[in-house]
Chains A and B, each alone.
Chain A
Amino acid sequence: MTDGLWLDGLRLEQDGFRLSADLSLKPGQVTAVIGPSGEGKSTLLSAIAGFLAPVAGRVVWDGQDLTQIPPGSRPISILFQDHNLFPHLTVNQNLGLGLHASLRLTQADKAKVERVLDRVGLADLGDRRPGALSGGQQSRVALGRALLAKRPLVLMDEPFAALGPGLKAEMLDLAVEVLGSAGRTLVMVTHDPEDARRIADAVVVVAEGKAMPPVPTQALLDDPPEALRRYLGREVG
Chain B
Amino acid sequence: MARRPIPLALGLPRWPGAIAAWLVLALTLGTLCIVALRAGTGQWLGPADWAAVRFTVLQAAASSAVSVLVAIPVARALARRRFRGRSLLVTLMGAPFILPVIVAVLGLLAVFGRGGLLNGVLSAIGLPKVSIYGFHGVVLAHVFFNLPLAVRLILQGWLSIPAERFRLVATLDLAPGRFLEWPMLRAVVPGIALAIFLICLTSFAVALILGGGPRATTVELAIYQALRFDFDLAGAARLAVLQFGICAIAAVLAWTVTLPQAQGGGLDRVVQRWDGGRLTKVGDGAVLILTACFLLLPLAMVVTRGLSGLAEMPISIWPAALRSVLVAALSTILCLGLALTLAMRRGGALAGLASTLPLAASGLVIGTGLFLIVHPFTNPARLALAVTALVNATMALPFAYRAIAPELARVEGDYGRLADSLGLRGWARLRWLIFPRLRRPIGFAAGLSAALSMGDLGVITLFATGGQETLPLAMYRLMGAYRMDAAAGVALVLLALSLLAFWLCDRGGRVDD
A and B are interacting partners = yes
> Which residues of A line the B interface, CB within 8 A?
14-15, 17, 38, 41-43, 46-47, 49-53, 68, 70-73, 76-78, 80, 83-89, 93, 97-98, 101-103, 130-131, 149
Q: Are A15 and B267 in contact (CB under 8 A)?
A: no
* A85 nearest in chain B by CB position: B418
Interface contacts (Cβ under 8 Å), in number, total 99
Mask, B447-470, CB within 8 Å of A = 1, is: 000000000000000000000000
Q: Chain B nearest CB: distance from A88 CB in Å?
A: 4
Q: Chain B nearest CB: distance from A46 CB in Å?
A: 4
- Per the bound structure, the CA–CA distance linking A154 and B419 in Å amounts to 16
Q: Are A38 and B1 in contact (CB under 8 A)?
A: yes
- Per the bound structure, the CA–CA distance linking A222 and B267 in Å amounts to 42
Other-chain residue from B268, B432, B437 in contact with A93 (beta carbon distance below 8 A): B432
Q: Chain A nearest CB: distance from B510 CB in Å?
A: 13
User: Which B residues are in CB contact (< 8 Å) with A88?
Assistant: 268, 436-437
A43-B3 in contact given A83-B265, A87-B268, A131-B267 (Cβ < 8 Å): yes
- Per the bound structure, the CA–CA distance linking A78 and B267 in Å amounts to 20
* B264 nearest in chain A by CB position: A82
- Per the bound structure, the CA–CA distance linking A68 and B9 in Å amounts to 9
Say which size band chain B's interface belongs to. 20 to 34
- Per the bound structure, the CA–CA distance linking A46 and B420 in Å amounts to 12
Other-chain residue from A70, A77, A97 in contact with B420 (beta carbon distance below 8 A): A70
Indicate whether B136 reaches chain A with its CB closer than 8 angstroms.
Answer: no
Q: Chain A nearest CB: distance from B299 CB in Å?
A: 35
Mask, B2-37, CB within 8 Å of A = 1, is: 010111110100000000000000000000000000
Q: Chain A nearest CB: distance from B497 CB in Å?
A: 31
Q: Chain B nearest CB: distance from A194 CB in Å?
A: 21
Q: Chain A nearest CB: distance from B153 CB in Å?
A: 23
Q: Are A71 and B425 in contact (CB under 8 A)?
A: no
Other-chain residue from A38, A83, A89, A130 in contact with B436 (beta carbon distance below 8 A): A89
Indicate whether B378 reaches chain A with its CB closer than 8 angstroms.
Answer: no
Q: Chain B nearest CB: distance from A36 CB in Å?
A: 12
Q: Are A101 and B1 in contact (CB under 8 A)?
A: no
Indicate whether B414 reaches chain A with its CB closer than 8 angstroms.
Answer: yes
Other-chain residue from A17, A72, A86 in contact with B415 (beta carbon distance below 8 A): A86
Q: Chain A nearest CB: distance from B436 CB in Å?
A: 4
- Per the bound structure, the CA–CA distance linking A52 and B1 in Å amounts to 14
- Per the bound structure, the CA–CA distance linking A102 and B422 in Å amounts to 10
- Per the bound structure, the CA–CA distance linking A83 and B420 in Å amounts to 13
A sample of 30 inter-chain contacts (CB < 8 A) reads A14-B5, A38-B1, A42-B1, A43-B1, A43-B5, A47-B5, A50-B8, A50-B421, A51-B5, A51-B6, A51-B417, A51-B420, A52-B5, A68-B8, A71-B9, A71-B423, A72-B420, A72-B425, A78-B417, A80-B417, A83-B417, A84-B418, A86-B418, A87-B267, A97-B422, A97-B432, A98-B422, A101-B423, A101-B428, A130-B267
Interface residues of B in 472-500 (CB under 8 A from A): none
- Per the bound structure, the CA–CA distance linking A52 and B418 in Å amounts to 14
Q: Are A83 and B428 in contact (CB under 8 A)?
A: no
- Per the bound structure, the CA–CA distance linking A71 and B419 in Å amounts to 9
* A104 nearest in chain B by CB position: B428
Q: Are B432 and A103 in contact (CB under 8 A)?
A: yes
* A98 nearest in chain B by CB position: B422
- Per the bound structure, the CA–CA distance linking A52 and B5 in Å amounts to 5
* B418 nearest in chain A by CB position: A83
A86-B432 in contact given A14-B5, A43-B1, A52-B6 (Cβ < 8 Å): yes
- Per the bound structure, the CA–CA distance linking A8 and B324 in Å amounts to 64
User: Which B residues are in CB contact (< 8 Å) with A131?
Assistant: 267-269
- Per the bound structure, the CA–CA distance linking A159 and B417 in Å amounts to 14
Q: Chain B nearest CB: distance from A71 CB in Å?
A: 4
Q: Chain B nearest CB: distance from A185 CB in Å?
A: 16
Other-chain residue from A41, A73, A80, A103 in contact with B418 (beta carbon distance below 8 A): A80
- Per the bound structure, the CA–CA distance linking A14 and B7 in Å amounts to 12
User: Which A residues are in CB contact (< 8 Å) with B432?
Assistant: 86, 89, 93, 97, 101, 103
Q: Are A72 and B424 in contact (CB under 8 A)?
A: yes
Q: Chain B nearest CB: distance from A172 CB in Å?
A: 20
Indicate whether B433 reaches chain A with its CB closer than 8 angstroms.
Answer: yes
* B269 nearest in chain A by CB position: A131
Mask, B207-231, CB within 8 Å of A = 1, is: 0000000000000000000000000
User: Which A residues are in CB contact (< 8 Å) with B9?
Assistant: 50, 70-72
Q: Are A72 and B11 in contact (CB under 8 A)?
A: yes
Q: Are B436 and A101 in contact (CB under 8 A)?
A: no
- Per the bound structure, the CA–CA distance linking A183 and B410 in Å amounts to 36
Q: Are B269 and A101 in contact (CB under 8 A)?
A: no
- Per the bound structure, the CA–CA distance linking A41 and B6 in Å amounts to 16
* B422 nearest in chain A by CB position: A97
Extra contacts, 12 of them, besides A52-B8, A68-B8, A71-B417 (Cβ < 8 A), are A14-B6, A17-B3, A50-B8, A50-B9, A71-B8, A77-B421, A83-B414, A86-B433, A88-B437, A101-B424, A130-B267, A131-B268
Q: Are B418 and A76 in contact (CB under 8 A)?
A: no
Q: Chain A nearest CB: distance from B198 CB in Å?
A: 34
Q: Are B3 and A15 in contact (CB under 8 A)?
A: yes
* B439 nearest in chain A by CB position: A88
User: Which B residues are in CB contact (< 8 Å) with A97?
Assistant: 422, 424, 432
User: Which B residues are in CB contact (< 8 Å) with A83?
Assistant: 265, 414-415, 417-418
Mask, B246-285, CB within 8 Å of A = 1, is: 0000000000000000000101110000000000000000
* B6 nearest in chain A by CB position: A52
User: Which A residues are in CB contact (< 8 Å) with B422?
Assistant: 72, 97-98, 101, 149
